[in-house]
Amino acid sequence: MATDAIIAGIDEAGRGPLAGPVVAAAVILPAGFSALSELADSKKLTARRREALAAVIRAEAIVGVGIAEPAEIDRVNVLEATMRAMSRACRNLPLTPERVLVDGNRLPHLDCPAEAIIGGDGSEPVISAASIIAKTVRDALMIEAALRWPGYALEGHKGYGAKAHIDALQGLGATPIHRFSYRPVAAAAEKKAHG
């Protein structure tokens, strides 16, 4: 394969939370990307560093984002919703890559050759870049959601199953951005319905 092949990396954020979407990103890095040595798995970076790197990636690279909302997650399951979000992210790139590297052990449906790489977000810079975009986009969406649905502290835990979140669910019930197929959400909804 030619060294100048157009390669995209794909990763997602938000498979585990009780609330909010799964967000996937596809990124094509340019030759000579200025922050190449700084790229890492988004989970190993501080929020401030992620935001700074996301700005550089958006300025220099080609980016596509795909989202699967909570209702879709509930309808088809989180794995299938993740695969759909990844496919959407790749389709939302302004050009079709010649090859795609996907973090994990499964491949979404794509219109080009692809390879799944376990731990790819830590070993492949193009996947690390996608990880950073997916995480920062999802975090921003959850901060917006916290304004719309106060009382759940979504801006802090971003929808994950933190104690404050579980307590709020049990006291306030679920919102439209909660995943009703997840046991703690279903239990809170049931309690509210019979409470």
Residue 110 near residue 24, CB atoms below 8 Å: no
Strand pairing report for 114-117 and 62-68: unpaired
Q: Is 103 exposed, middle or buried (0-12, 13-18, 19+ CB in 10 A)?
A: buried
- The closest alpha carbon to 19, from 184, 187, 191, 195, belongs to 184
What is the per-residue DSSP string for 60-80? HSEEEEEEE-HHHHHHH-HHH
Annotated binding site for a divalent metal cation: 11-12, 103
Residue 53 Cα distances to 70, 83, 135, 190, angstroms: 27, 25, 11, 42
Residue 102 Cα distances to 106, 107, 115, angstroms: 8, 7, 6
Annotated binding site: 11-12, 103
- The closest alpha carbon to 159, from 43, 12, 20, 13, belongs to 20
Q: Which residue has the tokens 């790489």?
A: 117
What is the per-residue DSSP string for 88-108? HHHHTSSS--SEEEEESS---
